[in-house]
Amino acid sequence: TFTAELENKNEDQGSSNDENSSERSFVGGSSCNDVHTLAFPSISTSDFQFDLEKASDIIVDSVSDFLNKFDSVRLVLVDLSDKSKILSLVRKKAAKKNIESSKFFTFVGDITQLYTKGNFRCNVIANATNWRLKPGGGGVNAAIYRAAGDSLEIATKERAETLSPGNSVVVTLPLSSPLHLREGVTHVIHVLGPNMNPQRPNFLKNDYVEGCKILRDAYSSLFENFASIFK
């Protein structure tokens, strides 16, 4: 079964990188023939400087709520480094909450090269974007626009000009996009999270009551939009 495949990969190539042996992180290949898979970065926790403890609580709660409602889906939190603090916090909290490790796990790699570098197929990826939905700026946004080519910018413009914090928008990737051709990604979901960086627009001045609400809204919007793709 698919689950068994994941478990085998886990044993063969597991990349658990700290003390907790029940961690669900793995590096290895798998297919997702009958399972819709969303790979997403941790929204707002790098350039937008959102607190990692608070963000990890929100990720685990949001994932758990979503998985209670849907079968045949997988959610995968991705980050570039196996030293990622957010990945290890989320793994710990997900294990505590007994979230099924075949339906939610973490993956170390570049979200734009999950298949070609990680041998891991994901049909939908999320982007931590900016309010103008513009390419560049750094982080995962710059990487996704770079990998997807101009067609992502054009397709995004057709869907929306701007995004408000806590919201997301689904963009269907044209077949001609290298991200579609090479990686098998069919949709990108742009998500705008709360911003705690004074140098960026919509700065929340450390208001974590509002910030946590916006981050929760951002993940609900992302997961609902993901579900709407295959419904």
Q: Using CB under 6 A, list all residues that contact ligand AR6.
A: 41-48, 78-80, 86, 110-112, 128-130, 137-141, 143, 193, 200
96 Cβ neighbours under 8 A, 6+ residues apart: none
Q: How far apart are CA 53 and CA 89, in angstroms?
A: 7
Beta carbon of residue 148, minimum distance to ligand AR6 (angstroms, whole number): 12
| 222 conformational bin, left if phi > 0, alpha if psi -120 to 50, beta if neither | alpha
Judged by beta carbon, residue 139 or residue 174, the one nearer ligand AR6 is 139
Q: How far is the CB of 173 from ligand AR6 (least distance, A)?
A: 16
CA 73 to chain centre: 14
Render the burial of 60-92: b for 16+ CB within 10 Å, e for the rest.
bebbbebbeeeeebbbbbbbbebebebbbbbbb
Closer residue to ligand AR6 in complex, CB, 69/83: 83
**Residue nearer to ligand AR6 on the CB measure, 10 or 141:** 141
Residue number of the CB atom closest to ligand AR6: 139
Cα–Cα distance for residue pair 28/119, rounded to 1 Å:
6
Structure tokens at 164: 């408000």
Least distance CB 97 / ligand AR6 (angstroms): 21
Give whichever of 78 and 171 is closer to ligand AR6, judged by the CB atom.
78
Shortest spacing between CB 200 and ligand AR6, in angstroms:
6
Residue 42 or 101 with smaller CB distance to ligand AR6? 42
Least separation in angstroms between residue 71's CB and ligand AR6 is 27
**For residue 227, how many other CB atoms are within 10 A of its CB?**
15
CB of 184 to ligand AR6, least distance (A): 16
Residue 4, token pair as written in the block: 């068994």
Measured from the CB atom, the residue of 70 and 200 that comes closer to ligand AR6 is 200
Q: What is the DSSP letter of 202?
A: S
